[in-house]
A and B are shown apart, each in its own frame.
Chain A
Amino acid sequence: MATQAHSLSYAGCNFLRQRLVLSTLSGRPVKIRRIRARDDNPGLRDFEASFIRLLDKVTNGSRIEINQTGTTLYYQPGLLYGGSVEHDCNVLRSIGYYLESLLCLAPFMKHPLRIVLRGVTNDQVDPSVDVLKATALPLLKQFGIDGESFELKVVRRGMPPGGGGEVFFSCPVRKVLKPIQLTDPGKIKRIRGTAYSVRVSPQMANRIVDSARSILNKFIPDIYIYTDHMKGINSGKSPGFGLSLVAETTNGTFLSAELASNPQGQGAAVLPEDLGRNCAKLLLEEIYRGGCVDSTNQSLALLLMTLGQQDVSKVLLGPLSPYTIEFLRHLKSFFQIMFKIETKPCGEELKGGDKVLMTCVGVGFSNLSKTLK
């Protein structure tokens, strides 16, 4: 009998997304126990439940079992289906939380994914939609996922705690991915950014831009930060403002940083000038870390390298984030893929911190969902 592949077992709710996404892609069932078992409020949270629901929407034939208290989750993946989907994301986490996983899954659907996500577009925890649009999409293009229908659009902006934002994401389907060799990040040629403000004075955005420029101008003159002030229905339910910055290099690497104001009624009010300056400094930190892939997208790049053909892929990264490290472990358990990790010391050149060169041979993944005509 072709039995179902033996399932993997984990404990704790951390890295839930990784586990479910990898389970879906590898076809191996996963069982997660002790989800907040010792917590006062045990079990899955609403945003996680929403994520699981989203996963159910884009797949066909997946089986999800959650026990009474919500502390144990069994997920047997189906095949990725795609198509036109709408999903109301929980406002506890921003759309970025959901979008990150969708970016991993979208190229391997049966039908091209066209999804409308509603909820919080920018918050302080997750990578915002703007950042993902500016960094993750070019990264996917490197793997050969490209086309007219490949877009991520912020229709409405929504800030926590109210939300009310809307994002449209569509992605074409690929059968196989191209291997990548990103070993030279190149030099930063321009910095772009978006300073957004909703339900506050439009002047806020301009104040942010000025302060951010004051820092970045010392490095490069080619800076342009768009101000995006949304009004009316497009401005969501809560006030807020923020800034996301993207540095583009000559070789097509995008490094990003972002900062958002505190949600209404939480924490002290933030001065837009401080926010701009801090965000600019965060960008400099990101540049210091360097690499060919933004620190938030490290795991995405590594995943797509793994899912490539049986060819060698290489990517130069900055220091690995804890999330990426855990992701690498998961990749090993789900796909038996181990990366060759070489540290590249910075030397005496003035190019920031030490880098890590990640090399792997793809598993020879092919999109099993796509229909052959």
Chain B
Amino acid sequence: METKDQKKHRKKHSGPKAEKKKKRHLQDLQLGDEEDARKRNPKAFAVQSAVRMARSFHRTQDLKTKKHHIPVVDRTPLEPPPIVVVVMGPPKVGKSTLIQCLIRNFTRQKLTEIRGPVTIVSGKKRRLTIIECGCDINMMIDLAKVADLVLMLIDASFGFEMETFEFLNICQVHGFPKIMGILTHLDSFKYNKQLKKTKKRLKHRFWTEVYPGAKLFYLSGMVHGEYQNQEIHNLGRFITVMKFRPLTWQTSHPYILADRMEDLTNPEDIRTNIKCDRKVSLYGYLRGAHLKNKSQIHMPGVGDFAVSDVSFLPDPCALPEQQKKRCLNEKEKLVYAPLSGVGGVLYDKDAVYVDLGGSHGFQELDEVRPTHELVQSLISTHSTIDAKMASSRVTLFSDSKPLGSEDIDNQGQWMPKEEKQVDLKTGRVRRKAIFGDEEDESGDSNDEDDEEMSEGDKLVDSCSDDETEDEADTEMMDMMYAREKGVKRQRLQEMEEDLEADLPAFADSDDDLERSSEDEGEAEEADESSEEEDSPAEERDISESKVVGDYSKAGLLQTNGLSKSLNLESSLTVNKATLTISDSGHCTAEEAFASEDETEESSSLNTEEEDSENEEVIRKKFPKSSQVADDQRLGSENLIGETSDVEDLLKEEEDYKEENDYSTETSGALKWKEDLSRKAAEAFLRQQQATPNLRKLIYGTVTEDNEEADGDTREELGGLFRVSQPSRECKHKLDSLDCSRFHVEAPHDWDLEEVMNSIRDCFVTGKWEEDKDAAKILAEDEELYGDFEDLETGDVHKGKSDPDTQIEDVEEVNKEEIDPSTEESARKKHLDKKRKLKEMFDAEYDEGESTYFDDLKGEMHKQAQLNRAEFEDQDDEARVQYEGFRPGMYVRIEIENVPCEFVLNFDPHYPIILGGLGNSEGNVGYVQMRLKKHRWYKKILKSRDPIIFSVGWRRFQTIPLYYIEDHNGRQRLLKYTPQHMHCGATFWGPITPQGTGFLAVQSVSDIMPDFRIAATGVILDLDKSIKIVKKLKLTGFPYKIFKNTSFIKGMFNSALEVAKFEGAVIRTVSGIRGQIKKALRAPEGAFRASFEDKLLMSDIVFMRTWYPVSIPAFYNPVTSLLKPVGEKDTWSGMRTTGQLRLAHGVKLKPNKDSLYKPIVRQKKHFNSLHIPKALQKALPFKNKPKTQAKAGKIPKDRRRPAVIREPHERKILALLDALSTVHSQKMKKAKEQRHLHNKEHYKVKQKEEEEKLKRQKDLRKKLFRIQGQKERKNQKSSLKGSEELSK
């Protein structure tokens, strides 16, 4: 549709592609430079500046080092658990649609409703567990902790939403899994340009949040309510090939994302009390680290529990067995989501597993019906669950007879192993039933025969399982062969028993568990070695003769362990010999087998020679046996350098090996029961011996009761005395001396020569091993480097050829008559030589490159290999005991005392996570962390306000105190977190390893409109006590002041308090420093203090002290999963005082002093300036104050006395007054007249002046006019003259 306005193709002008094209173009024109510019013009590339060179080198090295991660030991299991893909996004963004599309893409199956995790097989080596994450913050936090990959859906038409950023932050805190953004709703854009702009904008924002270049996927639009197939396919491809870096928390803790939950509580208990604590079993893939039985776990949203039982189950969504093909076929595309009702239905660990015929049988409802029957029978009856299980029957197939629990139970505790045989895809369980029958028929007395039979059966099983496409007749052949095998085994087993009779401790001396696993191999080996004995004419090789020799030796020595090992070794060598032959060529292999089989029954011979396929089976068998043996004697010297050639052959028969393992397991179980008494009898003997059955002694039944520790006393006493004797013994042991020294019970006599000789080789003076003997190594080197050609002289030095190489030569000449032993030795020699050369090359090659980093990496790699190899050969049952349940296993975990709400309010949409806890991570203490308020969180956080933390697996509410560390290491309490700074925080809560990240939210219920993550940080320290202090100022007042000493009161209440603070620094507000000296007798609490200056009575004295604060021991796990369905996001714990006040309408009574009042300003009144007299005197006259001060009262001495006049004097005075008044009046009048006169005169004078001026002006005017006329005249005449001239 957009074809018309498509742009024209633009050529690239830069970049590698353009350069390449340019080069090609030049070459076409014969102008191109064939050689490098560097070569052509070396001067241009010469070193210009050594400094710059050094700098650039430095920079490149820096960049290189920056790329390094600290190497860690790779502990990922061989068969990793499914990858947890969390699909996250705000509501209505298309999460469920995407999950549905992904599942459909991988499995061709459409799930309508998805609840809980869905596990699918996405490739040959990868499985995915897809789970949806809504925007409940509880769910977001939990899923971020278990996610391997997060698909972050973003509604492009809307843009980013807060949830996205919150989730990103949660991820960041809890280890940052891989994050892939997916833009949806892209079809809502009408204009292409707008779309492009939006894409770019979102992409860049996404990059800043995750990392530059993070993958952002675009789902352009919907077709029929689904995303486009091609886009989903591409997304699927991306997910399947993605690589992950291990996250610290996840790799150090076991965890399970449960995909199934069953309530195991006794129904009677529930009936009597519906609120009783429940016992539940949870199922899921184990991830992370190894899980130990009886360990502590935490269920986020529920609480802490101790695992009461763990068992591993067959994988419900197994990876395809063989991986030769490029892609999966339909049957291998499994999906498993029990919470959504998809996948097989499994009931209990020792009960029934019903398979609905894989993903394809899902539609057929008929097959599901029997399951319901079983469930019904379980529920309706009123008996215990065991009885119910026993009585309940299930029909696996419509035409087969019902299967009861007794059919299964009689196989003992190994049943789950057996159940693995039930092929999940094909549902072939037929052979299983046969096995049960046979088991029933054969009595307990001949256990070993029984095992053989079962083993044979399983062999058939496995074969058919492997080759699902094979025809039936092939299977028949297999079966026949297996039968024969069984018979043969039986015979051989008898032989072995004979052997055991000769050597009583043969079987016993080894520990039981190993024994059980070894059984199989031993049987075979014994078989072979005996075969060899039977037909000495067939194979005359050195090892054969060695066998004979060994046997004789064994007879002589009677040291059982020794003879056994020799025995094994010899048989092994034989095995190897045959193996090499079979490997070297097809015909030779046939030959070898044929020759060997002549000793056996003729029937087996026939089948072999007739059927090529059968032959293949046999060939499978042989490497297998050698492999078993190989595994058993891992350390035995004869096996060094075993066969890289064989390995590829071995790989093909892995499934075969598995079968063998299972069978050996059952045999082990039975054997253990069988000769228990005999073992007990020999316990003492064993202890005396140098190789006791240690495993049993330490961990076995012996551990529980000490009776068996001294078997002989028990044997002798018998009857009633048996009980009392051990108890006395036991008590003696309980309180005996606690000492680690290992005293020698029966010392050797070190004077005897032979005793001395027994440790001769422990010293450097003794004999060395073959591979370490200096002389031998020298000789080898000679052999290796003996041949060389001196290039200068041209001489050829030839090393001494030893007999082996001669043989090699002979072999080359005459290939027909190959002696197996010589060939083998030659081969070994050759391999050795190759290996040595390779080592040399490696050493030489790596010498220059080897850095500390490389060494470290190499070390880690070696450790990883060792970890993988160590328990590889053991069957799972034994393995889980040693290393715990390994990640990748599908396990069932039983937990007791779970709150009933967990079961009653179970919502499959919410993830159930079982997080394993390390040692003492279940304990509580004070946790210190570095915390920073999130920059997007609107408020600051207050000390002692309850807040919800997410640390480790947990979410819990606690009361933290914030502090900041002063320079002297003092941790000072803060009332609030700083705005933009890190601060410390301490709370009382679960102990979590240092370095673990955490986040804090104020509330997990959805009432907060803003960004919800309040703070993030990291745990720094764990302790059982805290050192946070707050400032406390004690104040006092002086009540007596001497020179520099004052008596201060009011600071303390008693002399004792003062005594505690003697010598403490005090200070006044004005800054005078001082020191507390000594308490005074009265008043109480007063003291003497000395200061650096004299105090005033008005001074306030204070002392700064630090008061330790206590943290409330409040730890409240968020139990969101216990809330009813639909209210799971409404958990609210303790409220802050602010929230409480708001809720109850309690107003805080404010301090009156802190209230604001209207400001009343007083009129400012200034005093007059007062200049001291001395200063006034000194001032210059002009600056002296001029205004005289008001005359004060005249002092008395200066005052004149009042004059009292006589009457006539008074008359005179009156007259004089009158006269003077008259006179003054006269004078006044005269003055006025004069004034008037003067005025008039002035006027006249002014007039005259004016006239005079006017006259002058006129005159001047006249004069200037005349002057001007004159000048003009002159000018005119001069102009005339000039004009005339010009004319």
**Interface 9-mer from A147-155, A212-220, A235-243:** A212-220
B734, A79: Cβ atoms closer than 8 Å: no
- The interface bits of chain A over 341-352 (1 if a CB of B lies within 8 angstroms of the residue's CB, else 0) are 111111111111
List CB contacts (< 8 Å) of B739-784 with chain A. Answer: 739-742, 744, 747-748, 750, 756-768
Residues of B within 8 A of A339 (CB): 698, 882
The 4 A-B pairs with the shortest beta carbon distances in the complex, nearest first, are A27-B920, A61-B1024, A12-B734, A321-B742
Complex Cα spacing A312 to B864, Å = 9
Partner of B735, one of A35, A285, A295: A35
Is A363 an interface residue, CB under 8 A from the partner?
yes
A352, B759: Cβ atoms closer than 8 Å: yes
Complex Cα spacing A364 to B887, Å = 15
Is A137 an interface residue, CB under 8 A from the partner?
no
Contact A350:B990 (CB < 8 A) given known A12-B735, A320-B694? no
CB distance from B1184 to the nearest CB of A (A): 75
Is A13 an interface residue, CB under 8 A from the partner?
yes
Contact A285:B993 (CB < 8 A) given known A14-B738, A352-B759? no
**Interface 9-mer from B432-440, B507-515, B1226-1234:** B507-515
B764, A188: Cβ atoms closer than 8 Å: yes
In this complex, how many residues of chain B approach chain A with their Cβ under 8 Å: the count is 94
Is B1274 an interface residue, CB under 8 A from the partner?
no
Residues of B within 8 A of A34 (CB): 734
Is A224 an interface residue, CB under 8 A from the partner?
no
B73, A309: Cβ atoms closer than 8 Å: yes
A361, B764: Cβ atoms closer than 8 Å: no
Chain A: CB-nearest residue to B883 = A361
B1115, A332: Cβ atoms closer than 8 Å: no
- The interface bits of chain A over 268-303 (1 if a CB of B lies within 8 angstroms of the residue's CB, else 0) are 000000000000011011011110000110110000
Contact A351:B922 (CB < 8 A) given known A1-B303, A343-B691, A364-B252? no
- The interface bits of chain A over 301-330 (1 if a CB of B lies within 8 angstroms of the residue's CB, else 0) are 000000001111010000111111100110
Q: Pull 19 A–B residue pairs with CB atoms less than 8 Å apart, ordered by A.
A: A4-B922, A5-B923, A12-B731, A13-B734, A187-B762, A187-B766, A250-B764, A284-B748, A285-B748, A290-B762, A299-B740, A311-B73, A312-B866, A345-B690, A348-B562, A350-B760, A351-B762, A353-B690, A366-B252
Complex Cα spacing A363 to B765, Å = 40
B920, A26: Cβ atoms closer than 8 Å: yes
Partner of B736, one of A1, A14, A125, A282: A14
A-B contact count (CB 8 A): 273
B698, A220: Cβ atoms closer than 8 Å: no
Complex Cα spacing A369 to B927, Å = 11
Chain B: CB-nearest residue to A219 = B763
Residues of A within 8 A of B744 (CB): 282, 285
Is B196 an interface residue, CB under 8 A from the partner?
no
Residues of A within 8 A of B990 (CB): 2
CB distance from A223 to the nearest CB of B (A): 11
Contact A3:B922 (CB < 8 A) given known A285-B747, A285-B748? yes
Question: Which of A's residues lie within 8 Å of B, judged by CB?
Answer: 1-6, 11-17, 25-28, 34-36, 38-39, 60-62, 77-79, 97, 100, 110, 125-127, 179, 181, 183, 187-189, 215, 218-221, 250, 281-282, 284-285, 287-290, 295-296, 298-299, 309-312, 314, 319-325, 328-329, 332, 335-354, 356-357, 359-361, 363-366, 368-373
Residues of A within 8 A of B866 (CB): 181, 311-312
- The interface bits of chain B over 862-880 (1 if a CB of A lies within 8 angstroms of the residue's CB, else 0) are 0100110011000000000
Residues of A within 8 A of B954 (CB): 2
B759, A287: Cβ atoms closer than 8 Å: yes
Chain A: CB-nearest residue to B75 = A310
Complex Cα spacing A267 to B866, Å = 53
Complex Cα spacing A325 to B863, Å = 27
A5, B740: Cβ atoms closer than 8 Å: no
**Interface 9-mer from B286-294, B365-373, B525-533, B608-616:** B286-294
CB distance from B304 to the nearest CB of A (A): 5
A100, B694: Cβ atoms closer than 8 Å: no
Is B820 an interface residue, CB under 8 A from the partner?
no
Residues of A within 8 A of B89 (CB): none
B1019, A372: Cβ atoms closer than 8 Å: yes
Complex Cα spacing A373 to B758, Å = 55
Residues of A within 8 A of B296 (CB): 5
Residues of B within 8 A of A35 (CB): 735
Question: Which of B's residues lie within 8 Å of A, judged by CB?
Answer: 73, 75, 252, 289-290, 292-296, 298, 303-304, 306, 509-511, 514, 559, 561-562, 565, 635, 690-692, 694-695, 697-699, 703, 731, 733-742, 744, 747-748, 750, 756-768, 863, 866-867, 870-871, 881-884, 918-925, 954, 989-991, 993-995, 1018-1025, 1115, 1117
Contact A187:B289 (CB < 8 A) given known A218-B756, A340-B882? no
Chain A: CB-nearest residue to B510 = A343
Complex Cα spacing A371 to B691, Å = 45
B919, A363: Cβ atoms closer than 8 Å: yes
B882, A338: Cβ atoms closer than 8 Å: yes
Complex Cα spacing A342 to B691, Å = 9
Known contacts A14-B738, A189-B764, A295-B742, then 5 further A-B pairs from the complex at CB < 8 Å, ordered by chain A residue: A2-B954, A77-B920, A79-B1024, A285-B748, A341-B698
Complex Cα spacing A314 to B73, Å = 17
CB distance from A209 to the nearest CB of B (A): 18
Chain B: CB-nearest residue to A322 = B742
Residues of B within 8 A of A60 (CB): 1023-1025
Residues of A within 8 A of B699 (CB): 328-329, 332, 338
A6, B694: Cβ atoms closer than 8 Å: no
CB distance from B735 to the nearest CB of A (A): 5
A369, B1022: Cβ atoms closer than 8 Å: yes
Residues of A within 8 A of B731 (CB): 12, 38
Chain A: CB-nearest residue to B294 = A336
B923, A2: Cβ atoms closer than 8 Å: yes
Residues of A within 8 A of B559 (CB): 345
Partner of B1020, one of A28, A78, A338, A372: A372
A1, B919: Cβ atoms closer than 8 Å: no
A2, B1115: Cβ atoms closer than 8 Å: yes
CB distance from B303 to the nearest CB of A (A): 7
Residues of B within 8 A of A97 (CB): 738-739
Complex Cα spacing A324 to B697, Å = 12
Residues of A within 8 A of B510 (CB): 343
Residues of A within 8 A of B884 (CB): 336, 361
Contact A188:B762 (CB < 8 A) given known A368-B994, A372-B995? yes
B920, A5: Cβ atoms closer than 8 Å: yes
Complex Cα spacing A98 to B742, Å = 17
B293, A336: Cβ atoms closer than 8 Å: yes
Complex Cα spacing A351 to B744, Å = 18
A61, B1025: Cβ atoms closer than 8 Å: yes
Chain B: CB-nearest residue to A110 = B1023
Complex Cα spacing A16 to B735, Å = 10
Complex Cα spacing A328 to B697, Å = 11
Residues of B within 8 A of A11 (CB): 734
Complex Cα spacing A371 to B995, Å = 10
Residues of A within 8 A of B747 (CB): 281-282, 285
A335, B919: Cβ atoms closer than 8 Å: yes
B919, A329: Cβ atoms closer than 8 Å: no
Complex Cα spacing A344 to B1022, Å = 44
A350, B919: Cβ atoms closer than 8 Å: no
CB distance from B889 to the nearest CB of A (A): 15
Complex Cα spacing A35 to B698, Å = 23
Residues of A within 8 A of B290 (CB): 310, 361
Residues of A within 8 A of B736 (CB): 14
Partner of A341, one of B694, B758, B924, B993: B694
A368, B742: Cβ atoms closer than 8 Å: no
B759, A284: Cβ atoms closer than 8 Å: yes
B740, A368: Cβ atoms closer than 8 Å: no
Chain A: CB-nearest residue to B867 = A312
Chain A: CB-nearest residue to B993 = A366
Complex Cα spacing A296 to B883, Å = 26
Residues of B within 8 A of A299 (CB): 740
CB distance from B197 to the nearest CB of A (A): 45
Chain A: CB-nearest residue to B874 = A340
